[in-house]
């Protein structure tokens, strides 16, 4: 049994609590705190972060927090994105989720991603099988780009959206289909579940993918992260089923 089973129970509870609020408020009028060209910060983001932090703190008072809505991190830290897929959520698209990871001395130990509308709960403890609603999941066995469905991230910063679109255009000729889903965490979980095959994004924050990384790797997939020199806690991500020649496909696009 993993050392972090209790933490996982706590993360699941917290994710379901925040997910409950997101679902109740889905499709209703929402308070926008900040709006920029490609991003929105919603008041409900902060409310969900508070719900998650309160729930986790009650069980593990000494652990730190790091996340989209603040926190400084520490040796044992929860990495939280209370609402991944914010723009989808705001526009009434059901592709969004709560994402909670635990990192201990720099190593991600658990991931929990909850999509309230579909009721999908993806979980993994490092070194154990990844699960979707308590059923084991595994990445796809597709090896050829021509059969693959690849996600491209349309990031919010550093012109990464434009970079994503250029990649989208190039890679679309090599694969079966390309998708931009609007939630990095869910995209990675879909790869973990073998529904789709790869994900690339030029500039993405750690909290957008930390939980889903554990799930993907525990399902047999791979995630490569190249930290940005300009933006802390941010960088480029290539994630895939571990079988596709995704690097070759991307090189052709540079």
Restricting to residues 105-144, which ones interact with ligand IPD according to CB under 6 A?
A: none
Closer of 48 and 145 to ligand IPD (Cβ): 48
Restricting to residues 156-175, which ones interact with ligand IPD according to CB under 6 A?
A: 156
> How many residues belong to the site for ligand IPD (CB under 6 A)?
16
Question: What is the rounded distance in angstroms from the CA atom of residue 202 to the CA atom of residue 170?
Answer: 15
Is 10 near ligand IPD (CB under 6 A)?
no
Radius of gyration of the chain from its Cα atoms, rounded to whole angstroms: 17
Q: How far is the CB of 200 from ligand IPD (least distance, A)?
A: 10
What phi and psi values does residue 138 have, to the nearest 5 degrees? -145, 150
Buried (b) or exposed (e) across 200-215, using 16+ Cβ within 10 A?
bbbbbbbbbbbbbbbb
Please pick, from the candidates 183, 218, 228, 241, the single residue that binds ligand IPD as defined by CB under 6 A.
Answer: 183
**Burial zone of 250 (CB within 10 Å; 0-12 exposed, 13-18 middle, 19+ buried):** middle
**E strand or H helix at 200, and its extent?**
strand 198-205
Is 67 near ligand IPD (CB under 6 A)?
no
Is 69 near ligand IPD (CB under 6 A)?
no
Count of Cβ atoms closer than 10 Å to residue 18 Cβ: 28
Do β-strands 64-67 and 76-84 pair in parallel, antiparallel, or remain unpaired? parallel
Is 68 near ligand IPD (CB under 6 A)?
yes
Is 85 near ligand IPD (CB under 6 A)?
yes
Q: How far is the CB of 222 from ligand IPD (least distance, A)?
A: 19
Closer of 41 and 222 to ligand IPD (Cβ): 41
Do β-strands 97-104 and 76-84 pair in parallel, antiparallel, or remain unpaired? antiparallel
Restricting to residues 196-235, which ones interact with ligand IPD according to CB under 6 A?
A: 201, 204, 208
Q: Please report, as ranges, the residues that interact with ligand IPD according to CB under 6 A.
A: 68, 81, 83-86, 153-156, 182-184, 201, 204, 208
């Amino acid at each position: 049994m993993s050392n972090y089973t209790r933490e996982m129970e706590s993360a699941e509870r917290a994710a379901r609590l925040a997910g409950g609020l997101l679902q109740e408020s889905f499709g209703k009028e929402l308070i926008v705190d900040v709006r920029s060209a490609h991003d929105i910060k919603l008041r409900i983001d902060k409310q969900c972060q508070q719900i998650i932090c309160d729930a986790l703190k009650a069980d593990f008072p000494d652990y730190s927090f790091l996340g989209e809505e603040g926190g400084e991190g520490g040796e044992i830290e929860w990495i939280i994105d209370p609402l991944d897929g914010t723009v989808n959520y705001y526009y009434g698209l059901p592709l969004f989720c709560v994402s909670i990871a635990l990192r201990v001395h720099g190593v991600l130990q658990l991931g929990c991603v909850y999509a309230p509308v579909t009721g999908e709960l993806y979980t993994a403890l490092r070194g154990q099988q990844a699960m979707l609603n308590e059923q084991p999941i595994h990445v796809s066995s597709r090896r050829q780009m021509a059969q693959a469905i690849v996600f491209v991230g349309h990031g919010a910063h550093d012109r990464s959206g434009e970079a994503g679109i250029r990649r989208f255009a190039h890679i679309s000729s090599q694969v079966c289909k390309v998708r931009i889903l609007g939630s990095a965490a869910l995209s990675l979980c879909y790869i973990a579940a073998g529904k789709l095959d790869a994900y690339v994004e030029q500039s993405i924050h750690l909290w957008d993918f930390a939980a889903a990384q554990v799930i993907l790797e525990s399902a047999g997939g791979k995630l490569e992260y190249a930290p940005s020199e300009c933006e802390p806690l941010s960088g480029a991500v290539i994630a895939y089923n571990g079988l596709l020649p995704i690097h070759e496909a991307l090189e052709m696009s540079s």
